[in-house]
């Protein structure tokens, strides 16, 4: 800046010319390097795609609703398309068959994660969800995390052996929500349920991960919720340094905030892990954290015992399980309430099914899912229509490969457009219409698995979300319990802005127009 201020007259003109020449040389060198990198084997082609601008690529075009823009571009360039985001080439996959070919049939080729600058700050690069590692050690640790999550969700409750832990946790939180919603209706004309859903879902995850349920006004719980909300907001804004590397060396308030959020949550989980070490009893494992600590202290010789876990890795696994389950489930439930409020006839049909199958004498159980096909069809249509996770976490190729006749170099960043699949006119009749019946057989008595398997929300293949089953169960239990007891509507003449707010998960815009009415007397208290 000082140099530019001191330039006058012809010196200023020369300086500007030098800058332009330097930029032009940089662009030419960059394009030359890329052309050398893209040596395409005989018989294959490079993926087609928009050319974009030098340095910026297609950033300007993708800055708003990138899932929709890329879906539109795929109609022009095909299901295998390359776009440049900044200086980085990104492979964009669309079409269910193409995505299955890449992530399932060629899963080993596409199971990597790109070494994005922002990913390095999530649990110090130890994350099994975001980290670039995809080798044998990663596979064993992922399996351990999956087993721990499953164990502390389907294990019978020690206080009520007829139900599992997940049912106990969700039932308790759903009962709290029912009473809280009704109390709010006594105090005000309407409200937004999201802020209360997020605390209840967080409490379920706290119970599974930390063995602890908090009071809803507990400051520690509220801090967890705030950190997670801040992470979503910052991550949604994107990090240009992931795709324009030179920006890594420039100050960024957003990136500094992003690092701080990750540091704060790491510190929170680290404290809990240390407390668990102090009170650990291998004969009485209380939660997922205990399960992982028990693995570290296991002396028997078996496959996963040869892969010890450090404290950092335990923190990373807990971070992944808590963060993913918390945000995804809250978003799924909040969209579910939006749809039942917008479509009262659909809500009545769900409640009729609940009344006929379960009645009012007991709460919904996981074992009821198969007997509630319309409720299940509704949840599937919420997943499809909202597509609130528009992309999977970016993938990366682990080696040079080919797909649909196109050559894909090693370490190529890959975007998987789940929103496009869920709105593909080749797969769905009237994809913009919300219609749960598309998933039911002609008699309305069973889910058509050929249709339900088309819905993409949790990814596919070797990087598929490890908490998918638990997530689906949790949404079902919360929704069925709430609708068994409550009627949900909007203020007369009011609606919900259906335009989602783009981010890691897409949320509806804040809406204070929800009204809650009690269907039957509530017997419990929070």
The Cα 454–Cα 420 span in angstroms is 12
Contact between 272 and 289 (Cβ < 8 Å): yes
3-class secondary-structure state, position 494: coil
Burial, 414: exposed, middle or buried (Cβ in 10 Å; 0-12, 13-18, 19+)? buried
The Cα 195–Cα 191 span in angstroms is 10
Contact between 514 and 191 (Cβ < 8 Å): yes
| 322, containing H or E segment | helix 311-342
Does 3 appear as a known binding residue? no
The residues that bridge with 82 in the sheet, in sequence order, are: 91
Pairing of strands 88-93, 413-416: parallel
3-class secondary-structure state, position 263: helix
* Torsions phi, psi for 54 (to 5 deg): -55, 140
Torsion region of 110: left, alpha or beta (phi above 0 gives left; psi -120 to 50 gives alpha): alpha
3-class secondary-structure state, position 79: coil
3-class secondary-structure state, position 172: helix
The Cα 342–Cα 494 span in angstroms is 10
Distances, alpha carbon 278 to alpha carbons 85, 315, 390, in Å: 48, 16, 42
Contact between 257 and 99 (Cβ < 8 Å): no
Burial letters 32-66, b for 16+ CB under 10 A, else e: eeeeeeeeeeeeeeebebbebeeebbbbebbeebb
3-class secondary-structure state, position 160: coil
Contact between 340 and 516 (Cβ < 8 Å): no
Assign 3-class secondary structure to 175-233: HHHHHHHHHHHHHCCCECCHHHHHHHHHHHHHHHHHCCCCCCCCHHHHHHHHHHHHHHH
Binding site as annotated, residues = 465
Binding site as annotated, residues for heme = 465
């Amino acid at each position: 800046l000082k140099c530019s201020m001191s330039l006058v007259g012809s010196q200023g003109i020369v300086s500007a010319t030098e800058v332009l020449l330097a930029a032009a040389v940089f662009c030419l060198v960059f394009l030359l390097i890329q052309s050398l990198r893209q040596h395409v084997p005989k018989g294959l082609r490079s993926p087609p795609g928009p050319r974009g601008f030098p340095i910026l690529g297609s950033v300007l075009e993708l800055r708003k609703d990138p899932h929709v823009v890329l879906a539109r571009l795929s109609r022009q360039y095909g299901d295998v398309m390359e776009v440049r985001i900044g200086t980085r080439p990104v492979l964009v996959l669309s079409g269910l068959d193409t995505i299955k070919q890449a992530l399932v049939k060629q899963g080993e080729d596409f199971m990597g994660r790109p070494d994005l600058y922002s990913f390095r700050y999530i649990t110090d690069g130890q994350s099994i969800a975001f980290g670039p590692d995809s080798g044998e050690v990663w596979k064993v640790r992922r399996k351990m995390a999956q087993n721990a999550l499953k164990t502390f969700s389907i294990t019978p409750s020690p206080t009520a052996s007829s139900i599992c832990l997940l049912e106990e946790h969700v039932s308790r939180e759903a009962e709290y929500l029912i009473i809280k919603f009704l109390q709010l209706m006594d105090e005000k004309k309407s409200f937004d349920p999201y802020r209360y859903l997020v605390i209840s879902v967080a409490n379920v995850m706290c119970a599974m991960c930390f063995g602890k349920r908090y009071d809803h006004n507990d400051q520690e719980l509220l801090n967890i919720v705030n950190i997670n909300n801040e992470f979503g907001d910052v991550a949604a804004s994107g990090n240009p340094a992931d795709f324009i590397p030179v920006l890594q060396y420039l100050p960024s308030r957003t990136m500094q905030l992003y690092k701080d959020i990750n540091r704060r949550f790491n510190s929170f989980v680290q404290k809990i892990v240390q407390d668990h070490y102090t009170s650990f009893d291998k004969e009485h494992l209380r939660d997922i954290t205990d399960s992982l600590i028990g693995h570290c202290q296991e002396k028997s010789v078996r496959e996963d015992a040869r892969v010890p876990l450090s404290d950092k890795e335990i923190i990373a696994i807990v971070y992944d399980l808590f963060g993913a389950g918390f945000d995804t489930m809250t978003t799924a439930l909040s969209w579910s309430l939006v749809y039942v409020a917008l479509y009262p006839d659909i809500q009545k049909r769900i409640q009729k099914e609940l009344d006929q199958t379960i009645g009012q004498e007991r709460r919904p159980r996981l074992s009821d899912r198969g007997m509630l096909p319309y409720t299940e069809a509704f949840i599937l249509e919420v997943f499809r229509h909202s597509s609130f996770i528009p992309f999977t976490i970016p993938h990366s190729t682990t080696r040079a490969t080919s797909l649909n006749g196109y050559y894909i170099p090693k370490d190529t960043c890959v975007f998987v457009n789940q929103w496009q699949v869920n709105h593909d006119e080749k797969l769905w009749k009237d994809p913009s219409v919300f219609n749960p019946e598309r998933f039911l057989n002609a008699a309305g008595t069973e889910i058509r698995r050929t249709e339900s398997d088309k819905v993409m929300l949790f990814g596919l293949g070797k990087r598929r979300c490890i908490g998918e089953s638990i997530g689906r169960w949790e949404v079902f239990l919360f929704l069925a319990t709430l609708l068994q007891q409550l009627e949900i509507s909007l203020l007369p003449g009011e609606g919900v802005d259906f335009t989602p707010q783009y981010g890691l998960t897409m949320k509806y815009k804040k809406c204070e127009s929800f009204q809650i009415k009690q269907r039957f007397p509530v017997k419990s208290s929070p």
